[in-house]
Amino acid sequence: MTFPAILFGLVLSTIYASGFHFWKGGNLGKLLIYIIISWLGFWLGHFVGTRIGLSFWTIGPINMGMATLGSLVFLFIGEWLSRVEVRNKNSAVPNKKTPPR
């Protein structure tokens, strides 16, 4: 893998994350999370596709088809997991007043 190919992959996966963030919305923190998730999914998709021999839309040494698919899958799963809300034990029953002692 050449250095320009790595840079190209990072730029392309960052563009995927930015487009996803533009579509879904959110703050700067979500954008950073989307970028990291997209990078991970992109390179994991590339390496898994190369490892199992599934290759389509190859640009130079990068398996762009599987890398793009990996990036998008990670972005959708990451967004879905980020919707989980943590509840405090006391907030489980809203508007419940504690009895006086």
Q: How far is CA 42 from CA 57, 67, 94, 100, in A?
A: 14, 4, 42, 57
pTM of the model: 0.75
Domain span at residue 33 reads 3-82
Judge whether 73 lies within some domain: yes
pLDDT at 93: 55
Note whether residue 99 is domain-resident: no
The answer to whether position 92 is within a domain reads no
Number of domains observed in the structure of the chain = 1
Residue 72 inside a domain? The answer is yes
54-67 tens-digit pLDDT: 878 888 888 889 99
Asked whether residue 23 is assigned to any structural domain, the reply reads yes
Q: For residue 47, is it within any domain?
A: yes
Whether residue 58 is contained in a domain is answered as yes
